[in-house]
Amino acid sequence: MVDVLVIGSVNLDLCASVSRLPEAGETVTGASLSRFPGGKGANQALAAQRLGANVRLIACVGDDAAAEEALALLRDGGVDLAGVHVHADLATGIALISVAPSGENQIVVAPGANAAMDSESIEPGGADALICQLEIPASVIARAAESFEGFVCANLAPAKEIDVTVLQRADLVVVNETEAAWYGDTLVACSGFIATTHGARGAELRQGGELIAEATPPAVTAIDTVGAGDTFTAALTVALVEGRSPEEALRFACAAGAAATTRAGAQPSLPTRDEVEVLLERF
Ligand code: RIB
């Protein structure tokens, strides 16, 4: 079993299912509201655990009811939460999400306690893999990546300035098309794999500018794409660290990401390994 450490965000997602996403300045009414545990770090932690890894999460939440709600599925799923710090003065992160019938979404995050994570107080310790994303301060990621000895995956989402040492150190960098365009030539500093996702069209894996693998996901009926990128990131990391070939690992990750779009909500939709294997067999 692969040991994974995730350092990242925990949010409570407030999701409005709308008939269509609003334009700037427009009000769209008639939505129905649901609450789901979310946050890119928490989603990636639970995704890796459901895919068969043994996962530890380092994160920061507020001392409030939203924290219990946000951590509930991680706790039920067996993720080790001993590294989740409770901040006395800040609120748990909240994500305001609108989801259209096509599964497309818009997300606004109020980071709260996530933004208070402090690089000096984090001791990554040992694991086979470290997964991190950018909903927490970039300085935390830089220090963790520098001191960690195993496989490092940096999911550069949401796009923001990051120390070049993270790109140089990461064995795997994951971006979607928007993030890839935002980082542009900066990504030439990456020495490991760069996985770029293209939504329902699949993903590609490159190293040093050379195409290593391409995969398309199995056809599914997508109802909510929230958490699909997090699932892809966790699945690709777990599969590569398990020793699967880049082609196999990318195929597995695309199938896992597709499976995550077939149910509503970030964490309720995260697939188990068996669900992904069944989807791959039918593909
Ligand atoms: O990647 C999806 C996640 O982004 C949501 O769960 C939301 O919390 C935002 O952080």
- Flag whether pLDDT at 283 surpasses 90: no
pLDDT at 119: 78
Q: Which residues are CB-neighbours of 225 under 8 A, at least 6 positions away?
A: 103, 104, 105, 199, 260, 261
Average pLDDT for 32-36: 97
Indicate the pTM of the whole model. Answer: 0.96
Reading the block at residue 11, the tokens are 């949010």
- Tell whether ligand 1 has an atom less than 6 A from the beta carbon of residue 224: no
pLDDT of amino acid 122: 77
Give the closest residue (by CA) to ligand 1 atom 2: 227
Any ligand 1 atom below 6 A from CB of 114: no
Going by their DSSP bridges, the two strands 193-197 and 203-207 should be labelled as: antiparallel
Q: Is 139 exposed, middle or buried (0-12, 13-18, 19+ CB in 10 A)?
A: middle
| Cα–Cα distance, 33 to 274 (Å, whole number) | 30
Cα dihedral: 77, 78, 82, 83 (round 10): -60
pLDDT greater than 90 at residue 282: no
| CATH architecture of the domain covering 3-9+39-92+114-280 | 3-Layer(aba) Sandwich (3.40)
Residue nearest to atom 6 of ligand 1 (CA): 38
- CA 224 to CA 261: how far, in whole Å? 5
Checking if the pLDDT of 275 tops 80, the result is yes
- Measured between its terminal Cα atoms, the distance across the chain in Å is 26
What residue's CA is closest to ligand 1, atom 9? 39
Report whether residue 230 contacts ligand 1, using a CB cutoff of 6 Å.
yes
| Residue-wise pLDDT tens digits, 251-268 | 999 999 999 999 999 999
Encode pLDDT of 56-81 as tens digits. 999 999 999 999 999 999 999 999 99
Buried b (16+ CB within 10 A) or exposed e, 42-58: bbbbbbbbbbebebbbb
Q: Does any ligand 1 atom lie closer than 6 A to the CB of residue 40?
A: yes
- For ligand 1, whether the C-beta of 95 sits within 6 Å is yes
What is the rounded distance in angstroms from the CA atom of residue 28 to the CA atom of residue 45? 33
Q: Which atom of ligand 1 is nearest to the CA of 9?
A: 10
Write out pLDDT tens, residues 216-238.
Answer: 999 999 989 999 999 999 999 99
- Per-residue pLDDT, 4: 98
Q: What percent of the chain has a predicted confidence (pLDDT) above 70?
A: 100
- At 1 the pLDDT is 92
d(CA 106, CA 16): 10
pLDDT, tens only, 174-200: 999 999 999 999 999 999 999 999 999
Alpha helical stretches, state H, 137-261: 138-147, 164-169, 177-183, 228-241, 246-259
**What are the domain boundaries of the chain?**
3-9+39-92+114-280
By the 10 Å C-beta count (0-12 exposed, 13-18 middle, 19+ buried), 126 is classed as exposed
Integer Cα distance of 221 and 263 in angstroms: 9
How do residues 86-143 score in pLDDT, each as one tens digit? 999 999 999 999 999 988 889 999 999 999 998 777 777 889 999 999 999 999 999 9
What is the C-alpha to C-alpha distance for residues 183 and 177, in angstroms, rounded to an integer? Answer: 10
What backbone phi and psi angles, to 5 degrees, belong to 108? -120, 130
Is position 76 annotated as part of the catalytic site? Answer: no
Give the pLDDT of residue 114: 98
Tokens linked to 50:
């459901």
